[in-house]
A and B are shown apart, each in its own frame.
Chain A
Amino acid sequence: MTFLTLERLGKQYGNSLAVETISLTVERGEFVSLLGPSGCGKITTLQMIAGLVTPTTGSIILDGRDITHEAVNRRGLGIVFQSCALFPHMTVAQNVAFGLEMRGIGRAERDKRVADILALVQLSAMAARYPRQLSGGQRQRVAIARALVIRPPILLLDEPLSNLDAKLREEMQFELARIQRQVGTTTIMVTHDQAEALSISDRVVVMAGGRIVQADAPFQLYERPATSAISSFLGRMNRLEAEWRAGRAVVAGIAMPCEAALRPDGAVSLFIRPEKILLAGVGGGVVDGRVTSRFFFGSHWLYRIDTAVGALTVSVPNQGLKLEDVGDAVGLKWPPDSLRHGGGISGAEIV
């Protein structure tokens, strides 16, 4: 059931187009991420939904009601700002209670709802503290509690975790996902961090140049990116320039096992993720190569391997198996379905 609809939404600042046209539907209870590089229009889109920016074209329909021109303070959406934007002179409890106070909710119920939401974000013990006495992660949780306590139809998150350090960011991702699942509020999150978008959203909307490039479930998006721009934006990707001849892809005279397709003969770009390539003994794979460099990432190793078909990046999980040294000869193989064609739309790529 469609809950929020953005209809050909656009925003123009003078002569510059911040958002060209966005059409998107969000289901009730869904967690949607807007992902893209800075300047792609994702923040403007969020601000238009929030009511902080008035769209130049298009409309926003929430639960069957047109809210395009409704004032921000009547829209009642919960928003978590990148900087948290907590009120510095108010305690945690006062911060959280502010939205309820504005709604004229009585003292007794206000206190109860504040206590409930602080318990949800596990900050009950901090109710009397001031924002400056909290850590970054705690501040973020107060901001989330403050946005959720008003029981908004939609929760909007503006790069909520970008100010946290890497370790804390990962913890907060899971925390955010837990809170969202528990409350069930429809959530739209803006982020430039692909790992964040992939790990906690139901659907990721990739934006570029003020438009939606692809909207899909995280796994689909990673496995079947619509364009090579998306594929290299989301994680690492190897690219091979091949010749398509009679139903087979050939690079430097070597036939590449790849996914089946019906396509005319000619040049084709092939893509494969580093973790899909497996190391085999020399001569035991599709192509042989020599390790030129090796990097350690903790959970995995990254090899650069020179082969007859070009340099490939291969990721190998750190499972305590035999390590290849720089200069070692190796064979490379992969399941045919992992080597994909550069989408059906080569040439029509955006960005």
Chain B
Amino acid sequence: MTADRRLGHWTPVLLVLPGALLFTALVVVPLGLTAWLSVLDYDSATGIKDTVTLSHYTAILTDGYYLEIFWRTLRIAALTTLICAAIGVPEAYVLARMHDPWRSIFLVVIIGPLLVSVVVRAFGWSMLLGSTGLVNQALHAFGLGTVRLLYTETAIVVALVHVMLPFMVIPVWTSLQKLDPAIEAAAWTLGASRLTAIRRVVFPEIMTGLLSGSLVVFGLAASSFAIPGLIGGRRLKMAATVVYDEYMHELNWPVGAAIAIVVLLANMLIMLGYNRLVEARTRKTLG
């Protein structure tokens, strides 16, 4: 009896332990090491020192070079999310109204970008958008002259939207699946036009899917590395690429770590705020 009770007392701890260990080893320890690294002093002649300093943070947050990169990262991620929503929601709506076999076929088409390696995909875009690429050849053929597309923010956003779209379409499609198809018809019979029915009845129902999709797209876009690295070129840096540069080219690990921590905190702040919005919405519609 007492032995049982003692074991019962420890059961939750034992159940949590494996997951907790894994989480500690894979997330908490590396994060802690990064945070520790970010407050260590650095000298270009002697390398990392043992003295603790907050100078990296003050340097990053006052240097216009870094601030511009942070601002660009935020802008590109927000724009990608917005465009994904604008394309993804109608796409999911059309997908939900399709019948098999077309639905299955187009589902594969939508998930398609995820099946191609990110490097191959990025090179594909640089071939399309380059100064002698397909887009410019087409513009040239119509006598419109060439446009500089590669190594611009536009190119990064285009490539990001391409790969992030499935992360928007799938959650929206899932919430559409849960919707009773008669609901739209009910709105029509009550006098709503097609557009009003979508706006007043369908849209509020897929809001949860849209918000969670945006969360995923924003997070992935803000921390993307390969696409800005290959399509943005050397000059157009985003948060992840500048961290890479600090580590691998400048060999200034503490500054790289400090940037990583700043980006992480900023991302977390934005996503937590956003998540509160999602949850408030969900509580209202689903209870």
Contact = CB atoms under 8 A, between A and B. Distances in A.
B13 to A, nearest CB: 37
Interface stretch (B120-128, B180-188, B213-221): B180-188
B187 A98 contact: yes
Interface in B189-216: 189-193, 196, 200-201, 204-205
Contacts of A81: 182, 185-186
A146 to B, nearest CB: 7
A88 B285 contact: yes
Contacts of A99: 190-191
A73 B188 contact: yes
B190 A98 contact: yes
Interface string B71-113: 0000000000000000000000000000000000000000000
B186 A85 contact: yes
B206 to A, nearest CB: 11
Contacts of B49: none
A85 B182 CA distance: 6
Given A82-B182, A102-B196, A133-B287, A89 B189 contact: no
Contacts of A130: 287
A50 B189 contact: yes
A83 B189 contact: no
Nearest to B184: A85
Residue of A51, A74, A85, A86 with most partner-chain B CB within 10 A: A85
B249 interface: no
A50 B185 CA distance: 10
B179 to A, nearest CB: 9
A102 B186 CA distance: 12
A261 B231 CA distance: 94
Contact of A85 (B185, B204, B284, B285): B185
Contacts of A77: 189
Contact of A79 (B189, B193, B205): B189
Given A73-B192, A83-B182, A89 B284 contact: yes
Contacts of B192: 73, 98, 102
Interface string A78-114: 1101110111110000000011001100000000000
Interface in A21-76: 50-52, 72-76
A322 to B, nearest CB: 53
Contacts of B188: 52, 72-73
A76 B183 contact: no
A150 interface: yes
A263 interface: no
* Chain B interface category by residue count: 20 to 34
A83 B180 contact: yes
A245 interface: no
Given A73-B193, A85-B180, A132 B186 contact: no
Contacts, number: 66
Contact of A72 (B183, B189, B196, B204): B189
Contacts of B201: 87
Residue of A76, A82, A102, A146 with most partner-chain B CB within 10 A: A102
Residue of A74, A75, A81 with most partner-chain B CB within 10 A: A81
Contacts of B185: 52, 72, 79, 81, 85
A298 B193 CA distance: 51
A77 B284 CA distance: 31
B285 A89 contact: yes
Contacts of A133: 287
Residue of B187, B193, B284 with most partner-chain A CB within 10 A: B187
Interface in B41-57: none
Given A88-B285, A89-B284, A132-B287, A79 B204 contact: no
A146 B192 CA distance: 14
A130 B287 CA distance: 9
A51 B190 CA distance: 12
B205 A89 contact: yes
B184 to A, nearest CB: 9
Contacts of A102: 190-192, 196
Nearest to B193: A73
Contact of A89 (B180, B182, B204): B204
A87 B183 contact: yes
Given A72-B189, A102-B192, A85 B287 contact: no
Contacts of A75: 189
Interface string A144-183: 0011001000000000000000000000000000000000
A82 B196 CA distance: 23
Contacts of A74: 191
B287 A79 contact: no
Nearest to A130: B287
Given A72-B188, A79-B185, 13 more contacts: A52-B188, A72-B189, A73-B191, A78-B189, A81-B186, A87-B183, A88-B285, A89-B284, A89-B285, A98-B190, A98-B192, A102-B190, A102-B196
13 contacts: A72-B188, A72-B189, A75-B189, A78-B189, A79-B186, A81-B185, A83-B180, A85-B183, A85-B185, A89-B284, A102-B191, A130-B287, A150-B190
Interface of A: 50-52, 72-79, 81-83, 85-89, 98-99, 102-103, 130, 132-133, 146-147, 150
What are the 3 closest A-B residue pairs judged by CB atoms, nearest first? Answer: A102-B191, A99-B190, A85-B182
